[in-house]
Amino acid sequence: ETGVTQSPTHLIKTRGQQVTLRCSSQSGHNTVSWYQQALGQGPQFIFQYYREEENGRGNFPPRFSGLQFPNYSSELNVNALELDDSALYLCASSLGGGDTQYFGPGTRLTVL
Amino acid sequence: QKEVEQNSGPLSVPEGAIASLNCTYSDRGSQSFFWYRQYSGKSPELIMFIYSNGDKEDGRFTAQLNKASQYVSLLIRDSQPSDSATYLCAVNPGSARQLTFGSGTQLTVLP
């Protein structure tokens, strides 16, 4: 157990809807990174938050947005859902931006 | 060319054998290297990290790094059926904050 939690575990949405995923980082960790993992692929970096500021972003469109709160928990918001957004969404927590990252259990999103 | 390349497998080894998993990366400035294990339907679990050239051992696992060849490997000694999983190689380039992952190698350990 890494101490990183994510909610919900599973989610089913329809195309065009909006979704919010949540992550609580491991105690003492101030950095949260979000990844998208499609079936059969490695995780792809979405963005990272360090002390409530975005600290790097991958090749994802602006409809993917996020927040980090003062307690270092984080949200990932996806607007205008598309079928290709169906994936496992992973949150990873670390102490500092370049440090070892520990993953939560993930949220499985299905877009119909 | 992908930034981090792994053989997708599947790789099958008999119980008790050594499993060898390989990974190459394209960014010469990469600073740190990680191996994660991912069971089907679960999230990645950190097994090893390595920063310096050479070998690093932790129990049955040995990570090997050769920066000149841009190559990192994971050896699993005395493989067990419980080691059957997908192994993900991840690289942290020095200039970036994120991890760049390979597509993973699926390992099956046969009883």
Q: Is B2 on the interface with A (CB under 8 A)?
A: no
Q: Closest chain B residue to A104 measured between Cα atoms? A: B43
Partnered with residue B65 across adjacent β-strands are B54, B72
Residues from chain B that touch A98, judged by Cβ atoms under 8 A, are 31-32, 92, 97
Q: Closest chain B residue to A107 measured between Cα atoms? A: B43
Q: Closest chain A residue to B93 measured between Cα atoms? A: A98
Tell me the CA distances in angstroms from A34 to B14, B24, B49, B69, B71, one per residue in order: 36, 24, 20, 30, 26
Please tell me the predicted confidence (pLDDT) of residue B34. Answer: 96
The tens-digit pLDDT sequence of chain B (111 residues) is 569 999 878 999 999 999 999 999 998 888 899 999 999 999 999 999 999 999 999 999 999 999 999 999 999 999 999 999 999 999 987 666 789 999 999 999 999
Please tell me the predicted confidence (pLDDT) of residue B11. Answer: 95
Residues from chain B that touch A102, judged by Cβ atoms under 8 A, are 46
Q: Is B98 on the interface with A (CB under 8 A)?
A: yes
Return the sign of the alpha-carbon dihedral for residues A22, A35, B58, B92. negative
Identify the DSSP state of B82.
Answer: G
For A94, phi then psi, to 5°, come to -155, 165
Q: What is the pLDDT of residues A14-69, one digit of tens each?
A: 999 999 999 999 988 999 999 999 999 999 999 999 989 998 899 999 999 999 99
Return the sign of the alpha-carbon dihedral for residues A55, A2, A88, B42. positive
CA separation for the pair B97, B39 (Å, rounded):
25
Residues from chain B that touch A41, judged by Cβ atoms under 8 A, are 103-104
